[in-house]
Structure 1
Amino acid sequence: MTDYILELTEEKVITSFKITEDNIFVSDNDFVEAGLIENLAQTCSSILGQSFFQNPNIETKVIGFITNIKKIEIFALPKVDDIIISKASLISQFENICNIFCETFLDDEILIRAEINLFIQEIKQ
């Protein structure tokens, strides 16, 4: 649930996402809380997930899970046609499990802030 990766390093990612009216997480023209959390999770997964895609000639499939939300604050909900920017920074990592601090903004307004744990693994074919 991201459109573009604007910046990606081993410890940080910034993504953008335009909210469309046909999005499953839109209700009454608002992008609901679950949508904000899903956007953060997919943004955060870029940090850990990039290690699975280092060889572009090999098709790789991965699956990821939020294993824990340590803290979450929701300040506002964006609307249809808004473009949100999500930023995530790695706090710690042990193998395929990581703890990440993340925030999403609409222009200069913070929408959500969270600290989450993610687990990602490759799906063997």
Structure 2
Amino acid sequence: MELKEENLINIHNFLPHREPMLMVDYILELTPEKVITSFEITSDNIFVYNDHFVEAGLIEHSAQTSSSILGQSFFENPESNTKVIGFITNIKKIEVFGSPKVGDKIISKASLISKYENICQIFCETFLDNELLIRTEISLFIQEIES
């Protein structure tokens, strides 16, 4: 997938995460039912060990990619000071097939399976070029917190 500057969506408008826990660089496509994200692995990432992005990093990246589907409803107005908190409530399935290295750019595609209020179940796959790295089915809970 070619990254075109004019098509990139600022991830900060859809996720509460910030450095060093932000594991998504860009949202390439976002609808109420699906999302596609990208992330470049850097040497200073907290989930890099021996120049590889470890499994915990892949899982966190999958969760952040997935949560942007549910999170978008909280961040419809980019000017607001909305604060949210989110949790992984269940991981139904994880299959890890590979580990990207420093300098690699991974692409994740997630789709909504089901949603009830602020809880959703999402299927996500992450790729390095055409190689499938991880497949997850994850449940998430997100809620707005009072300031």
TM-score normalised by L of structure 2: 0.84
Normalized per residue, the structure richer in strand is 1
**1:13 maps to which residue?**
35
- 2:55 maps to 1:22: no
- 2:93 maps to 1:39: no
Map 1:1-125 to 2 at 5 A.
1-125=23-147
CA RMSD of aligned residues (A): 0.6
Q: Distance in 1 between matches of 2:69 and 2:78?
A: 17
* Shift of residue 32, structure 1, vs aligned partner: 0.1
Q: Distance in 2 between matches of 1:110 and 1:55?
A: 34
* Shift of residue 124, structure 1, vs aligned partner: 0.8
Identity %: 77
Q: Greater RCO between the two (CA within 8 Å, min separation 6)?
A: 1
TM-score normalised by L of structure 1: 0.98
Q: Distance in 1 between matches of 2:77 and 2:95?
A: 37
Letter in structure 1 aligned against 2:106: I
Q: Distance in 2 between matches of 1:16 and 1:66?
A: 20
- What's the secondary structure of 1:88's corresponding residue? strand
* Shift of residue 56, structure 1, vs aligned partner: 2.5
Unaligned runs of 5+ in 1: none
Q: Distance in 1 between matches of 2:98 and 2:64?
A: 19
